[in-house]
Amino acid sequence: MNWMIRAKNVFKTYPNGFQALKGIDLEIADADFFTLLGPNGAGKSTLLKVLSGLLRVDQGEIKINSLNPEKHFLQIQRFLGVCSQDNDLDPTDDVISQLIFQGRLFGMTYKEATKRAEELADLFMLNDEVKKKAQDLSGGNKRKLHCALALVHNPKLLFLDEPTVGMDPLARDNFWRVICHLNQSAGVSIFLTTQYLEEADKHASHMALIIQGNLHFNGLVKDFKLQMHPESSLNLEESYLKYVRSLTEKGENHAV
C-alpha cells in the first residue's frame, strides 16, 4: 500500500495547557478521498495543522508521503495544498493578483502564473470578482478564493478544512466537481473536514471520527454506516447522530 499520510500516537497540547489531540493513529492511502468528522472543538483543525506542518506535535510520528513535516517542511509544501478553516487572505490585494502571486511563490513565470490564475478564477466561478480586494468579497467567494489558492501549484495532496462553508448550492456543486475530478482523474489525495455530512457521504470512501481529541472510528464510510445500523441503510448524517447521541446517553461525553 502506498501511504500518503501516516500518523502514529500523535499528541498535541496548546501553550495554554489544553490537550487537543490525545494519541491519534491514522493511515491514509495515496489518492484516497478521506474525511475527518467530529463535533466542534473535537481537534479536526488541530490535526490538519499538525499533519501539514503548521503546528508542531508534542509526541508521535508523522509521515507525509514518507517525509517528516517538521524536517521536510518546504519539500512537502511543494506537493501540498491547504485550504484552512480561517480565511487568512491578504485583505487589500485583489483576487487575480493573489492568485498570480501564489503562482510566483511556487516558481512560475509571470506568464504561467497569470494563465493558471485565470484558469482557477474560471474553475471556481470567480470571473466577475477578479478585480475585487479580498476584504470586499462575500463570505462564499472568500472560501472559493481560498480553495483556488490552495490549488495553484497542482498539489497531489489537498487539505480542505470546511471548504464549502457559505458557498451557494451551485458553487458547492461546482466545487465538488472540481475536487472529484482532481481525485478521480489526477489521483489527488483529499483530506476533508466538514460539518456538511451529506458532502462527506457522497464523496469520501474512508473516514475517521474524532471526539475530544480521541479517535472513535477509522475506516470505510460504508463500514461506519453498517456498524451503526446493519439492517437498514442509514445515511452518514443519521449514523453520525446515532453514534454521538449514544455517547451522550451513556454519559460518556458531554461535548458532543
Residues that bind Mg ion (CB under 5 A): 44-45, 85
Minimum Å gap between C-beta 248 and Mg ion is 21
- Quote the least distance from Cβ 215 to ligand ATP, whole Å: 13
110 binds, among ligand ATP, Mg ion, none (CB under 5 to 8 A by kind): none
43 touching ligand ATP, by CB under 6 A: yes
Out of ligand ATP, Mg ion, none, which partner does residue 16 contact, by CB within 5 to 8 A per kind?
Answer: ligand ATP
Smallest separation (angstroms) from Mg ion to the CB of 210: 11
The binder of 183, among ligand ATP, Mg ion, none, by C-beta within 5 to 8 A per type, is none
User: What sign does the dihedral 101-107-112-115 (CA atoms) show?
Assistant: negative
Cβ(203)–Cβ(180) below 8 Å: yes
Among 3, 29, 41, 237, binds ligand ATP (CB under 6 A): 41
What is the β-pairing status of strands 3-13 and 19-29? antiparallel
Angstrom distance (rounded) from CA 66 to CA 149 = 25
Among ligand ATP, Mg ion, none, the one that 134 touches (CB under a kind-dependent 5 to 8 A) is none
The β-bridge relationship of strands 59-64 and 189-193 is unpaired
Distance in angstroms (rounded) separating the CA atoms of residues 179 and 200: 12
Picking from 198, 200, 164, the residue whose alpha carbon sits closest to that of residue 190 is 200
Residues forming contacts to ligand ATP in the complex (CB under 6 A) are: 14, 16, 18, 20, 38, 40-46, 85
